[in-house]
Amino acid sequence: MFTPKYPPQDTAPPPAALQPQPTAPAPIASAPGRRTVQLTPGSALALAAGGGAVVLVVGAVLVSLLLAVAITGVSVAVVAVVLRLLVKDLQQGR
Say how far apart CA 37 and CA 41 lie, in whole Å.
13
Q: pTM for the complete prediction? A: 0.48
Say how far apart CA 73 and CA 75 lie, in whole Å.
5
Is residue 70 within 8 Å of residue 63, measured between CB atoms? no
Say how far apart CA 31 and CA 20 lie, in whole Å.
25
33-56 per-position pLDDT tens digit: 677 778 888 999 999 999 999 999
43-93 per-position pLDDT tens digit: 999 999 999 999 999 999 999 999 999 999 999 999 999 999 999 999 987
* Domain ranges, ordered by start, for the chain: 64-94
7 vs 44, more confident: 44
Long-range contacts of 32-35 (CB under 8 A, 24+ apart): none
10-37 per-position pLDDT tens digit: 776 666 655 565 566 666 766 666 777 7
Q: How many residues does the chain have?
A: 94
